[in-house]
């Protein structure tokens, strides 16, 4: 087997690893292997290719990975925002700025008052925003 074939197989293996763990980590190694493949036609020393592979991997990891992460991991709206924000639900328990519970689509969620007011149990509330697993709500004036 020629060195360029081995570099190509290693690059494909790293691309497969990247598909199963989409962290933009193995992509750096795949890129380095694919660059080493045509270079191996001219450089026959495998130790030089290994050093080149690690240098290219390091450079790719330091310079390219942050750019790719910024591009692909943009702040996206979570499913919670599109599914729950703006919904009007009933307060299962009294809601204040430190405790409370609402029920959305049969799911029990911790709730907090968005503006600090106390909302009695059974009142209609509108979900304004969420932070992690806590929904912030405001009272609906009937």
Same domain, 106 and 61: no
Amino acid 103: pLDDT: 87
Same domain, 54 and 108: no
Amino acid 82: pLDDT: 61
The 8 Å CB, 24+ separation contacts for 54-57 are 56/31, 56/32, 57/28, 57/29, 57/31, 57/32
Amino acid 86: pLDDT: 86
Beta strands in 69-123, from DSSP E residues, in sequence order = 88-90, 101-104, 107-113
Amino acid 36: pLDDT: 94
Q: Name the residue range of residue 131's domain.
A: 79-139
What is the tally of structural domains in the chain? 2
Same domain, 68 and 19: yes
Amino acid 79: pLDDT: 54
Same domain, 7 and 57: yes
Same domain, 94 and 128: yes
Instruction: Write down the pTM of the prediction.
Output: 0.51
Amino acid 74: pLDDT: 53
Please identify, among 72, 88, 103, the residue that sits at the C-terminal boundary of a domain. 72
Give every residue of the chain whose pLDDT is below 70, as ranges.
73-82, 142
Residue found by looking up tokens 């933009």 in the block? 24
């Amino acid at each position: 087997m020629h060195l360029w074939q081995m570099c190509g197989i290693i690059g494909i293996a790293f691309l497969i690893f990247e598909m199963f763990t989409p962290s933009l980590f193995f992509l750096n190694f795949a890129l380095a292997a694919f660059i080493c493949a045509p270079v191996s036609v001219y450089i026959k020393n495998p130790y030089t290719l290994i050093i080149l592979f690690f240098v290219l991997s390091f450079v790719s990891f330091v310079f390219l990975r942050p750019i790719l992460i910024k591009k692909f991991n943009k702040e996206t709206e979570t499913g919670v925002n599109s599914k729950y924000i703006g919904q009007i639900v009933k307060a299962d328990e009294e809601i204040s700025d430190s405790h409370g519970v609402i029920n959305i689509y049969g799911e029990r969620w911790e709730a907090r008052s968005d503006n600090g007011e106390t909302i009695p149990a059974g009142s209609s509330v509108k979900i304004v925003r969420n932070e992690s697993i806590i929904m912030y709500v405001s009272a609906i004036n009937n």
